[in-house]
Each structure stands twice: as structure tokens, then as C-alpha cells.
Structure 1
Amino acid sequence: MTDEDAAEDRSGPPAHLAHLSGMDLVRRTLEEARGAAKSQGKDVGRGGVGRSASPRRVAGRGGRRSWSGPGPDSRDPQTLGSATSDLARRRGWTTRVAEGSVLGQWPSVVGDQIAAHAAPKSLQDGVLVVEAESTAWATQLRMVQSQLLAKIAAAVGDGVVTTLKIVGPTAPSWRHGKYHIAGRGPRDTYG
């Protein structure tokens, strides 16, 4: 920089911008700086002058390259729930996890009142066997079977439970051993 250039910097704007003032001068100077930076191969955006033309790229999942940015990223810490659901999805365990959540979270799926009087026993091929504590509760559950299916579908997803088989309490079996004689058995002596 020569002495004349230094004197020009201290005295004011360049000669070709002398007729401008205030914000017009600032805008025009910024436009010239951007034009000069572009001609040198630099990317100039709202972030400032002189950023590299190729933004920093980071390795994403599976070796694929992705742009880094201010938003959420797969490299950020994840919650345990999202990490386990992602693992189950990748391994193909989603239906088994959903089946397990029906059996494991029964009170939160159907409600505390129903859970106090009925319990799930098994779930195979979309058929959920529910055992009620009395025949009266079994009858009540059969009447609200469609609402129960809707609650289960809302909690764990459609298609996990397609049919409910509601059974009442089982009576004790008087059969012991492999041989049996027909008849009323020990019930005829109760008096």
C-alpha cells in the first residue's frame, strides 16, 4: 500500500464513491467487496466475506456425506427411547416389541379399571387371549371388545392385535392321572 492509498483510506471513501453517503455508501462498498470475493473464488453470503467456497462436509450415517448445519443431526446425543426404537426397526423387531408392550404395559393400554379385573395371557398371530376374573367381567369385556381393540391399536399400532379372545375364570380340574371314569365325580358328595 502506497502513501497515497493510505492517505485516501484515512480521508474518506474512494473517489468513485465520493458522491454517496450513509447507507448508500455502505451498500455499495459491500457489493464491491462481494464481487471481489466472488472473483477470487470465495463464497460470500450473509455470514460474512471470505468463507470457503465449499462448506465443511461431515461423514453421515453409512459413510454417506451430508452437509453440516445448525439443526438436529444423527451425530447428536439421542434419547434412550429413540435409540432402542431405531435398533428394533433396523433389526426387524418392531412387531415383537409391540406385542411385548401390549402384555407388559397392559394397565396403561386399557386403563386401570379394566386391568384390575382382566389380564392378558398370550398373544399369538394377532389373537390376544384375555382372562377375566369373573364371568360377569368376561361378558362386560365382550361387549366393549371393539373399544378395547381401538385402545390397543392406538397404543401399539394397527395390526398387532387383530382379535380378542376373552375367557372367564377356569374351574379347578378334578381329573388326576390318565384314566377317567364318566359321571359327576366328587361333586355328588358335596352337600
Structure 2
Amino acid sequence: MSEHKRSPSKLGDVVASVLKHAGLTDRVAQAAVIPEWPALVGAQIAGVTEPLLLQQDGTLVVMVKTHAWMQELTLLEPQLLTRLNADPSRPPIVKLRWMLRR
């Protein structure tokens, strides 16, 4: 019985390989908009919203502080989607779903 010695792999490489084999690479890339939300939408909108999760169909669920902001953001959705989808290397966010924070 021979022992095969391998050099250690970088953790990032291992995670990338696991995600690729699981078919999750695109979903992870798409979900990168969540931590980037404040930079993508601006401080004012980021101050009254909180992105929660990305659904499988590409819908980003976002919590909003007030009904008034929810209405305003609904009107701004096309512009916000343009900002969120500015990076052509990742799959697009197809819709924003606004939920009132309780």
C-alpha cells in the first residue's frame, strides 16, 4: 500500500470546486449583490432597506422600513435593477420583492 502525498490545496480553490460541482457557482455570483447592496443602491436607499435573500428565480427579497419607501422603491425598480445588474459577469437579478419590516 503506497501513500500518496499531496500538497495542501487553498481553501478558496476547494470551495470553488465544490460550488462548481454542485452547480451553485452562478447562484453565489448572483447573491454577491447582497453584501454590495449599499454601494449599488446608494446610502439613502441602503439606510431604509435590507436585502434578505435571493430566490431561485432571481428575485431579490428586500425589507423596507415604511410603506412610503416601499412605494417609492417600486417606482425606482427599473433603475435599481440596472444598477444591480451592471456587472455582466454574473447572472442578473430579475425582480425585486419589497417587504415591510415589522
TM-score by length of 2: 0.68
Could you list the runs of 5+ residues in structure 1 that have no partner in the other structure?
1-82, 171-191
Taking a change above 3 Å as real, the CA distance of residues 111 and 100 of structure 1, as seen in their structure-2 partners, is same
Please identify the structure whose Cα radius of gyration is greater. Answer: 1
* 1:144 partner SS: helix
- Comparing 96-105 and 156-165, the one that deviates more: 156-165
In 2: Cα distance, 1:106 partner to 1:156 partner = 16
Structure 2 equivalent of residue 116 of structure 1: 47
TM-score by length of 1: 0.39
In 2: Cα distance, 1:156 partner to 1:100 partner = 14
Equivalent position amino acid for 1:141 in 2: L
1:132 aligns with 2:57: no
Which of the numbers 62, 84, 88 marks the counterpart of 1:152? 84
Which of the numbers 12, 28, 35 marks the counterpart of 1:97? 28
Equivalent position amino acid for 1:147 in 2: Q
Equivalent position amino acid for 1:106 in 2: W
Asked whether the 8 Å contact 1:131–1:167 carries over to 2, the reply is: yes
Equivalent position amino acid for 2:73 in 1: L
Taking a change above 3 Å as real, the CA distance of residues 157 and 130 of structure 1, as seen in their structure-2 partners, is farther
RMSD: 2.5
Asked whether the 8 Å contact 1:98–1:160 carries over to 2, the reply is: no
Identical pairs, percent: 34
Provide Cα deviations, 1:1-29, integer angstroms capped at 9, x if missing partner: xxxxxxxxxxxxxxxxxxxxxxxxxxxxx
Structure 1 equivalent of residue 74 of structure 2: 142
Please state how far the C-alpha of 1:97 moved relative to its aligned partner. 2.6
Provide Cα deviations, 1:153-184, integer angstroms capped at 9, x if missing partner: 004656431011112223xxxxxxxxxxxxxx
Taking a change above 3 Å as real, the CA distance of residues 157 and 142 of structure 1, as seen in their structure-2 partners, is farther
Equivalent position amino acid for 1:167 in 2: M
Asked whether the 8 Å contact 1:106–1:115 carries over to 2, the reply is: yes
Aligned length: 85
